[in-house]
Amino acid sequence: MQVHVIKSDDGESIERSDAEIFEGGQVWGRALTDSLSNHTSVSVVQFAPGARAGWHTHTGDQVLYVVSGIGKVGDRDGERVISAGDCAVVPAHIEHWHGSHDTGSPMTHLSIIPVGSETTVIEE
């Protein structure tokens, strides 16, 4: 085992706007850990203004750490504004959504979930 460093220009950001889970605008994602971790999957996800994930669940806890911009995260109890430096912890099996706020600016967050966690999109 050794320490791996993922440089900022390693890998490629992929537009994911057409994925079943996203709505309202463009979304880009870049896997950071890929096969480097057996336990944790980390991705950086950027939401264009107005873009968000639709309602969904994960089989493992999800941690969202906002890197830049202003966003929102919601569950069946309501929505909360999140901004750079904030961290949202979404327990497994909780119906939720997240994305950019309606401020006209993009929002970028890290998505951290256990390897093997499955996502289920909830049809509204």
Domains of the chain, each with CATH number or no CATH: 14-121 (2.60.120.10)
When comparing pLDDT for 112 and 9, which is higher?
A: 112
Residue, of 124 and 90, whose pLDDT is higher:
90
Mean pLDDT over 58-76 rounds to 98
Residue 30's pLDDT band, with cuts at 50, 70 and 90, is very high
Residue 15's DSSP bridge partners are 28
| Per-chain mean pLDDT for the chain | 94
Spatial separation of the C-alpha atoms in residues 7 and 25, rounded to whole Å: 28
Stretch 101-123: mean pLDDT, rounded?
Answer: 94
Q: What is the pTM of this model?
A: 0.93
The region, left, alpha or beta by phi > 0 then psi within -120 to 50, assigned to residue 16 is alpha
